[in-house]
Structure 1
Amino acid sequence: MTTFLKRCIIPLLIISSISIQAQELSYSNGEKYIIGEISVAGNTSFSEQTIVTYSGLTKGKEIAIPGEEIGDAIKKLWNSKLFNDIEVYVTNIEGNVANLEIRLSDLPQLNELKINGVKKSKIEGIIKDNKLNKGVKVTENLITTTKNFLTTKYKKEGYLNSKVHINTIEVKDSTTTSRVNMVLNIDKGEKVKIKEIVFTGNEVLNDKFLRKSMKSTKQINRLRILKRSKFVDSAYQADLTKVVDKYKENGYRDARIISDSVVVNTDKTISLHLKVNEGSQYKFGDITFIGNTVYSNEYLNRILRIRKGDTYNGVLLQKRIQDNSKPDAFDIANEYQNNGYLFSNIDPVEVGASNNVIDMEIRIVEGKPAYFNSVTVVGNDKTNDHVIYREIRTRPGQLYSKANVVRTVRELGQLGFFDAQEISPNFNNANPNEGTIDMEYSVKETGSSQIELQGGYGGGGFIGTLGLSFNNFSIKDIFKKDAYKPIPMGDGQKLALRLQASRFYQTYSFSFSEPWLGGKRPVQFSTSLSHTKQFLYDYTTGNADKSKSFNITGITFGLAKRLTVPDDYFVLSQAVSFQRYDLNNYNTGLFTFGDGYANNLSYTIGLNRNNTSVDPIYPTGGSKFGVTAKLSLPYSLFDGVDYEELREERDGLTSSDSRAAEIDQEFYKWLEFYKINFKGEWFTQLAKDLVLRPSVEFGFLGAYNNDRGVIPFERYFVGGDGLGTYSLDGREAIALRGYPNQSLSDTDGGTIYNKFSLEMRYPITLKASAKIYGLSFLEAGASYTSFRDYNPFNMYRSAGLGIRIFMPAFGLLGIDFGYGFDPLSTETKAHGWETHFIIGQQF
């Protein structure tokens, strides 16, 4: 026996990549041997010592052959997921000493991966999701799981006929490492469309009504635009729940979908067949509150707004108790949580259901009132703590209020210093027994400074613009060398500088605002200074005539105070401004005098309300409206000038008469006017991230004294992108896309305008680095020279599409393609398409 073993190699146990072969002899017949030498054979890049050590077999160890020790060694090597074809052999036995040989080969490593059938942008995600990085061990399990993952993924997206094939090709080279190239062929096929959705068993609610309840699963309808008829399994499963909820909303609480099936049609579409059991309709019976001591039954019933005899609606009942879709909903849970009862629990329980009448008990565990133990902020690397804490509505020692937490998140998002999508209120160390909680607001800084550097052609020449806007400035650190990183930041102040120049004009402006003047109250102080010089165009040379100029110098001081009534979303703003208009041999149609001046001293008062949430760049709810009045002094009441006489004299003179220029100088020496503007816009989230934004605008410019007339400044010019042009007469440019800039007003502008707009917005990405959203719009508006011409129904109409991109360093950029449905005064048919580029600085 011993001599035979010296000449032969006896296999003891073999393990393949898919199964373990049993030993020929039972363990009960095994004999004890001392392990002598252990050698390693096969195609492997690992050292012999590493493999032997990993197997757990050691020289001098007594084992049974055959026995469990050999099996355990093979399992250890197999579980490492580094080898395949593992075999252990006895190569020699002398007495009770046995030499062993471990034969194995390395699992091949992934050398190169090629993915066919998908866009390049999707390849990185496939590699990451399936861990197909170079060097990974290629096993049958890896191939199978990758194939199953992708097939399941595409089926959930509606590609029911998707196919995935994986091939591996061995790489032959001089290295000892086994490597393979993998080719991943993906054929997603076409998304399968739903030909029809058929319900059976429904008598109370018809098929059309039930199909409507399925928000994302729709059958083919060529008239429908917003919702497609492609089948997506995950959406379909969610819609099955919505069908049952629709029954519950109508009193059929026992309604169920008994079965649903997908039928493949010959035209490569599918049909969905759903069988329902409607059950009986139920009514609400007695509704009893148990456990409430803070609020009376009568008060809770006013919040619940469900009465005995109402049709049973389980969905509505849950929303009235706790509406998880709206953090600020008017429900019982929020009423408790807004008054300190963070640890309260409200549970509706059916206690009786006889004769299709359901009696309810709403069991309330109020718990202890909760108080904030500590309130902290993390993540603010640039913004100073005091800027954040003054916006926080929750304070240590204060009674907990969910409404204050929600409002704090909104206020921090509105600052514009943080990524509004990343602001998170975290509850720490909640202690129901002591009634305390620690509050932590997590924020993520985003760029708050912007640069505008652009060039373009307009006004007869090249226009260059350089603008800097620092929206989180710190003026107190302006003389601290260490604070320049690259500028002093962190105190929430705003500083803006802008220079714009061409051959024909130059504009310089500076503005500064402090949102908390004095640091104790939300009173904003602002000031701005500007100077503009425009040169007259010489039609003979096509150049600017520097000897003929029109200069405007202006300064403004303003205060804005947050109010407490009617609520603290209101802001009352006031400003005093002065502008000096100087004309130097500047003869145009703007004035009848070419040499002279005009002064504009005005007071502006405004009332604004803004409760939009949460992201100021992409609001998803709330509204903004504002009404402002800009007023000059009524000089004609006390300056002693008879303007009726001057007007009559002026009407009898020609424009070339020097006396006409003197009279006009008298009329415009101090500008006299009043101006009322209104703008309102609302944001409604129709579906997840899909936002509807209607808006309305109105403006009126009037005169105190009709003999003096309406001034030629401050007028409305409607049409185009709404960006200001090189015109320097204080005009307001009102956007109305689909038409050229300022083309919908007379040459001298309008004194009245109205505009209506409807936008549908959907985000592409809302990341801090770039917020991008697409939009579609309908607009209508016009301007009028007087109330006699005013007709709010005679407007220019347009529609179109656009996109907006907000990058912290550059502000809001965008492009719109608008179609004007109405002809201009010089046209006989619809104006057609216009392209508008939008540049909106966040000053």
Structure 2
Amino acid sequence: MRFFRHIHCLVAVAILFALAPVLKAQEQTGPIIREIAVEYVGPPAISEQRVRDNLATKVGEPYSERAVESDIRALYATGGVANVRMFAEPAADGVKVTVLLQGRPVIEEVVIEGAEQLSMNRVRREVSTKVGDVLSEEKLESDRQKILKIYEDRFYSDVQVQFRVQEIANSNRVRVIFQITEGPRLVVRRINFIGNDSVLPRDLLKVMKTKTWNILSFFNKSGRLLPAQMEEDKVAIRTLYQNRGFADVQVQDFQTVPLESDGVELNITIVEGIQYRVNNLKLEGVNIVPTEDLKARLSMQNGSLFTPKGMGDDLKLLRDFYGARGYVDMVAMPEVLPAGPGAVDVTYRIDEQFQSYVNLVNIQGNTRTKDRVIRREMAVKPGDVFDTTLVDVSRKRLENLNYFDKVETVPTETIVPGRKDLNVIVNEKRTGSFNFGVGFSTTDSLVGFAELQQSNFDLFNWPTFVGGGQRFRIRAQYGLQRKDFVVSLTEPWFMGYKLSVGGEAYYREANFLSSVYNQSNYGFAIQARKQLWRALAGRLEYRLEGIDIFDVDTDNVGQFIQDSAGLYTRSAFTGGLTWDTRDSLFLTRRGELVEFTTFIAGGGLGGDVQDYGVSIEASKYFLLPWDMIFTVKGELAVVDSWGGSNEVPIFDRLYLGGANNLRGFNYREVGPVDQYDNPIGGQSLGYMTLELTFPIMSRVRGAVFTDAGFVNADAYDFSTSDVNADIGIGLRLDLPIGPIRVDYGYPVIHDTWNGPPGKFNFNIGYQF
């Protein structure tokens, strides 16, 4: 019997396989479509031609349910259709397909009611819904939120905005009405805390988003009374207390008390509870190291404050400690038990599991980037201990390449005990760009530019030239004061070593260096850069260039500038060390940058320029309360001739003045001049800047600064007898087109040729 049942099953399977082609053929050869009709319920939503353009179903082709489903999705995707039906009915030698559509209503009128404190036109500017648009609930909700925001920005915290849709009889048209209930204007004048015996008010105010009104409120919107923001403040206050040991803290109420005019006083009641400390800290299940040694690494010890942050930090420390030793599957479970008033016992129960090693590193998703470009960034290799901290380092390195939208590192089991594969999954993104536009600064004046760059270039991957991890750039600039053309290529891993080697060829013509002559530089350079230790990097460069001093105004210059006219060949080596601990390259709040640079030109290197120079430049950044940033910056530099040369040429001399150093003076205006007051530069330089920036509103910071410096004619002369200085104010704007810096500096110590009035400095860029 069992044998016959098997025979029956085999026969059934054979029949299905035999029928499959027939069934498929029948599906492909359905009835032929003889006619397609388009009908509307109500006024036509979209034109008949547009309907037909979106149909895969065609006259003369076989009818297909799959094609009909695709057509319905395509018609809905047009956005102008509320309901769609498609059905077939018999026709001569085939079928007739009818497309029945009901369109979305069209907006006949947009009405705004209740806007009294703000003008109707101001509110309308926020509404993107227009007469003639197809009705969209999502768009109406977006408009409602925009109206709410402009009222909240003007301190109307109780404003309510609703919309409703009215149908217009005997038509497919509607009227949209935005109903506004403005409520009173409420400005937070004072914030009081009740019950905060253990935390200072200023510490509580630091973590709150709700602020009191002040002179900058028109920019930073402080003083608004927003319910959602106050809920966030409750969480922030609770977190602050809990991280000071008050685990049971309660933020009970935010009460508003009306004051004179439109002001309110905000009273916040806090019930602190008792402060908890760790009574007994225990680790269980530790075998690979002495328990006490591991316990000593934890931030929370017996007698320490018990805080959620401390527990989170200790759990991470345990994961990293075990992960660095290959215990990928280690699990640490915390247990917190009361141990009397104000005391808790904390136990971490650890299941170490087994040590793992890296079996294979598998790269997935790199459709353009070569495997070796990814593998060279990996800090772990097959056969290594599966160190999870180094895996995290590898992931961050890959993210910093900016080649991928997403980078994931996933350990997976293998059939070999104690061995895990590391799967690196990436999602490629565009790495090339072409930009063009116009920029403006007080130094360069108006400049147009075009730039082609590829950050994941491959010189040997024809024809795409993508995927090798090299950086390639072509940039052309043409402006009133400068002309530039640069081609550069950089290999960040030269010959497989972590050594960045690159080169550039260029032509630069600058008219802004002086009002009495022009200068052009053209040539090539080869550079190498190596990270030596953590924040320390070294660099070396060889540059061979021609330098032309031309269009000299001989009637208005001294003998030195006249003698400088002509063509020079300069061959030079430059070396440098950089120490960089800045927390961000864009808006630095903490850290320091120190750069030591030296160069030598001529001699055995050839050329007709024979000089050398040494400079050290340093910046230190301090983060102060209220996100204020104090910056100290300074530089010392010297240049001198050597060998048979008697003087340093004008293009290698030192200058101060302009947007990057002494901002109260014109570009290159500080230092020695000839008898016509034309800057001729010096051979010794020193300057210092003190600057304080502070937030005004999102993406806008204010600045106050002072700059002081000198340029002396002789080498190694650092006398301050000819110092110049300025004071000033500025704005820092972080916009999508890039950063914009505006400074106004006023000279307070100056020479006869470079005194007041002050100087505006602009650095503005536009991209299209």
Q: What is the TM-score of this pair, normalised by structure 2?
A: 0.67
Write the distance in 2 (CA, Å) between the matches of 1:633 and 1:151.
69
Listed one character per residue, the Cα deviations across residues 554-583 of structure 1 (whole Å, up to 9, x for unaligned) are 4322222333xx33x543221222344567
Residue 259 and residue 459 in structure 1: after superposition, are their counterparts in 2 closer, same or farther (change >3 A)? closer
Q: Is the 8 A contact 1:575 1:604 kept in 2?
A: yes
- 1:121 to partner: Cα distance: 7.4
Write the distance in 1 (CA, Å) between the matches of 2:657 and 2:239.
48
User: Given the alignment of the two structures, is residue 629 of structure 1 paired with residue 598 of structure 2, yes or no?
Assistant: yes
- 1:700 to partner: Cα distance: 0.8
Cross-structure match for 1:425: 408
Cross-structure match for 2:270: 276
User: Given the alignment of the two structures, is residue 577 of structure 1 paired with residue 573 of structure 2, yes or no?
Assistant: no
Q: How many residues align?
A: 643
Cross-structure match for 2:322: 336
Cross-structure match for 2:658: 720
Listed one character per residue, the Cα deviations across residues 208-247 of structure 1 (whole Å, up to 9, x for unaligned) are 3564354213344669996823222233223223333444
Q: What secondary structure sits across from 1:229 in the alignment?
A: coil
Residue 529 of structure 2 aligns with an amino acid whose one-letter code is A
Write the distance in 2 (CA, Å) between the matches of 1:223 and 1:814.
21
Residue 120 and residue 180 in structure 1: after superposition, are their counterparts in 2 closer, same or farther (change >3 A)? closer
Q: What secondary structure sits across from 1:317 in the alignment?
A: helix
- 1:736 to partner: Cα distance: 5.1
Residue 504 and residue 315 in structure 1: after superposition, are their counterparts in 2 closer, same or farther (change >3 A)? closer
Q: What secondary structure sits across from 1:340 in the alignment?
A: coil
User: Given the alignment of the two structures, is residue 114 of structure 1 paired with residue 110 of structure 2, yes or no?
Assistant: yes
Q: Which of 341, 350, 354 is residue 364 of structure 1 equivalent to?
A: 350
Cross-structure match for 2:685: 752
Q: Is the 8 A contact 1:757 1:777 kept in 2?
A: no
Q: Is the 8 A contact 1:531 1:552 kept in 2?
A: yes
Cross-structure match for 1:819: 744
Q: What secondary structure sits across from 1:593 in the alignment?
A: helix
Cross-structure match for 1:787: 717
Listed one character per residue, the Cα deviations across residues 497-555 of structure 1 (whole Å, up to 9, x for unaligned) are 4556689987654433222222x11222222334567999999xx9x9xxxx9775543
Residue 796 of structure 1 aligns with an amino acid whose one-letter code is D
Listed one character per residue, the Cα deviations across residues 158-197 of structure 1 (whole Å, up to 9, x for unaligned) are 7532123445433133x5x6x5322123355676333443
Write the distance in 2 (CA, Å) between the matches of 1:761 and 1:371.
50
Q: Which of 431, 438, 448 is residue 432 of structure 2 equivalent to?
A: 448
Aligned counterparts, 1:657-672, within 5 A: 669-672=608-611
Aligned counterparts, 1:8-27, within 5 A: none
Q: What secondary structure sits across from 1:230 in the alignment?
A: coil
Write the distance in 1 (CA, Å) between the matches of 2:512 and 2:241.
74
Q: Is the 8 A contact 2:492 2:501 kept in 1?
A: yes
Cross-structure match for 2:61: none
Q: What secondary structure sits across from 2:652 in the alignment?
A: coil
- 1:820 to partner: Cα distance: 0.8
Q: Is the 8 A contact 2:611 2:639 kept in 1?
A: no
Cross-structure match for 2:211: 218
Listed one character per residue, the Cα deviations across residues 229-269 of structure 1 (whole Å, up to 9, x for unaligned) are 32222332232233334444444444333555445557444
Aligned counterparts, 1:19-418, within 5 A: 111-112=107-108, 114=110, 116=112, 123=127, 134=134, 159-173=156-170, 180-187=174-181, 192-205=186-199, 208-209=201-202, 211-212=204-205, 214-220=207-213, 228-263=222-257, 267-310=261-304, 312-322=305-315, 331-354=317-340, 356-369=342-355, 382-395=368-381, 398-417=384-403
Q: What is the TM-score of this pair, normalised by structure 1?
A: 0.61
Q: Is the 8 A contact 1:598 1:671 kept in 2?
A: no
Write the distance in 1 (CA, Å) between the matches of 2:692 and 2:408.
31
Residue 172 of structure 1 aligns with an amino acid whose one-letter code is A
Q: Is the 8 A contact 1:191 1:230 kept in 2?
A: no
Cross-structure match for 1:674: 613
Cross-structure match for 1:725: none
Q: Is the 8 A contact 1:469 1:496 kept in 2?
A: yes
Aligned counterparts, 1:518-597, within 5 A: 518=495, 520-531=496-507, 552-563=521-532, 566-567=533-534, 570-581=536-547, 589-590=559-560, 593=563
Write the distance in 2 (CA, Å) between the matches of 1:742 and 1:189.
58
Write the distance in 1 (CA, Å) between the matches of 2:190 and 2:395.
45
Residue 782 of structure 1 aligns with an amino acid whose one-letter code is G
Q: What secondary structure sits across from 2:709 in the alignment?
A: strand
Cross-structure match for 1:22: none
Residue 162 of structure 1 aligns with an amino acid whose one-letter code is V
Residue 776 and residue 339 in structure 1: after superposition, are their counterparts in 2 closer, same or farther (change >3 A)? farther
Residue 617 and residue 459 in structure 1: after superposition, are their counterparts in 2 closer, same or farther (change >3 A)? closer
Write the distance in 1 (CA, Å) between the matches of 2:336 and 2:342.
12
- 1:322 to partner: Cα distance: 4.5
Larger Rg: 1
Residue 818 and residue 364 in structure 1: after superposition, are their counterparts in 2 closer, same or farther (change >3 A)? same
- 1:619 to partner: Cα distance: 7.6
Write the distance in 2 (CA, Å) between the matches of 1:115 and 1:442.
50
Residue 236 and residue 583 in structure 1: after superposition, are their counterparts in 2 closer, same or farther (change >3 A)? closer
Cross-structure match for 2:762: 836
Write the distance in 1 (CA, Å) between the matches of 2:258 and 2:327.
54
Q: Is the 8 A contact 1:801 1:818 kept in 2?
A: yes
- 1:800 to partner: Cα distance: 0.9
Structure 2 residues without counterparts, runs of 5 or longer: 1-40, 44-81, 84-101, 116-121, 673-678
Q: Is the 8 A contact 2:355 2:418 kept in 1?
A: no
- 1:752 to partner: Cα distance: 1.6
Q: Is the 8 A contact 2:734 2:740 kept in 1?
A: yes
- 1:380 to partner: Cα distance: 5.5
Write the distance in 1 (CA, Å) between the matches of 2:522 and 2:124.
55
Residue 575 of structure 2 aligns with an amino acid whose one-letter code is I
Cross-structure match for 1:796: 726
Residue 755 and residue 220 in structure 1: after superposition, are their counterparts in 2 closer, same or farther (change >3 A)? same
Cross-structure match for 1:740: 666
Cross-structure match for 1:23: none
- 1:398 to partner: Cα distance: 4.7
Residue 280 of structure 2 aligns with an amino acid whose one-letter code is D
Residue 672 of structure 1 aligns with an amino acid whose one-letter code is D
User: Given the alignment of the two structures, is residue 475 of structure 1 paired with residue 459 of structure 2, yes or no?
Assistant: yes
Q: What secondary structure sits across from 1:216 in the alignment?
A: coil
Write the distance in 2 (CA, Å) between the matches of 1:829 and 1:552.
32
Listed one character per residue, the Cα deviations across residues 451-473 of structure 1 (whole Å, up to 9, x for unaligned) are 45659899999977665544443
Q: What secondary structure sits across from 2:681 in the alignment?
A: coil
Q: Is the 8 A contact 1:382 1:445 kept in 2?
A: no
Q: Is the 8 A contact 1:197 1:273 kept in 2?
A: yes
- 1:698 to partner: Cα distance: 1.9
Residue 408 of structure 2 aligns with an amino acid whose one-letter code is P
Q: Is the 8 A contact 1:379 1:445 kept in 2?
A: no
- 1:630 to partner: Cα distance: 1.7
Write the distance in 2 (CA, Å) between the matches of 1:358 and 1:391.
45
Write the distance in 1 (CA, Å) between the matches of 2:154 and 2:334.
37
Residue 318 of structure 1 aligns with an amino acid whose one-letter code is M
Residue 598 of structure 2 aligns with an amino acid whose one-letter code is A
Q: What secondary structure sits across from 1:673 in the alignment?
A: strand
Residue 364 and residue 535 in structure 1: after superposition, are their counterparts in 2 closer, same or farther (change >3 A)? closer
Residue 802 of structure 1 aligns with an amino acid whose one-letter code is R
Q: Is the 8 A contact 1:469 1:497 kept in 2?
A: yes
Cross-structure match for 2:72: none
Q: What secondary structure sits across from 1:716 in the alignment?
A: coil
Residue 616 of structure 2 aligns with an amino acid whose one-letter code is N
